[in-house]
Amino acid sequence: MFVNIHSHSHQNEGIYILNSLDFSDKNYYFSLGIHPAESQNLNFNADIFEKQTTHLNCIAIGECGLDKNISIPLEQQIALFKKQIDISEKMQLPVIIHCVRAWNEILEIKKELKRKQPWIYHGFRKSNLTESILKSGCYISIGTAIIQDQKLQQSIQHIPLEKLFLETDNDTTYSIQEVYESVARLKNISIDELQTQILKNFELVFKKVKLHGTL
């Protein structure tokens, strides 16, 4: 079984967490979040948001976070991010983090808020930050970049399987199966072993799935 922790579309068999506002597809899980790029002129209504997260297939908050490549002031992004973190705690849902050049800020927020829900950095590529992220107790999700990115291929050796997730995000060139194949090869384990461990991580982190049964 392939688990795709963050995707914008479903390609083949497996467990998918779609980054989607389309609740109509009963066959897939989804995560609910406001991307920092969407934070401008947004009238965020925490009550409505919270209510939407009660949908049975909504098993995570996100992607949300901070992005220094966009022109929206960081303060504004932080305020929205923190609101979503609060809801994640209240609703007991893990968070899928979007982070661009704001690693320190997010690590600081993590320390400051002392939240208990698991945080997963999605689309991770910053090899030099592996250690500090793992130290903070967060999970790391690796995407299709692993197929080409040599630095990332090296740093995956330092990510314990128990802290790892895999995803395709909005890349449709490669499938989740190809991401698994690449990681299994680099970690020198079988696809079976990798699938078993990632599924274990999934069940551990996404508690709502266990509570309501798998789709």
Footprint of Zn ion (CB under 5 A): 19, 169
- CB of residue 3 to Zn ion, shortest distance in Å: 16
CA distance 58 to 53: 6
Cβ distance to Zn ion smaller for residue 67 or 169: 169
Q: How far is the CB of 122 from Zn ion (least distance, A)?
A: 7
For Zn ion, give the closer residue by CB, 88 or 141: 141
Question: What distance in Å separates the CA atoms of residue 124 and residue 70, rounded to the nearest whole number?
Answer: 18
Sign of the four-CA dihedral 182, 174, 192, 4: positive
**Shortest-Cβ-distance residue relative to Zn ion:** 169
- Minimum CB–partner distance for residue 106 and Zn ion (Å): 16
Pairing state of beta strands 95-100 and 119-121?
parallel
Nearer to Zn ion, 70 or 191 (CB): 70
Output 62 or 118, the one with its CB closest to Zn ion.
Answer: 62
- Shortest distance, position 189 Cβ to Zn ion, whole Å: 27
The contacts found for 40-44 with CB under 8 angstroms, 24 or more apart, are: 40/72, 40/76, 42/80, 44/80, 44/83
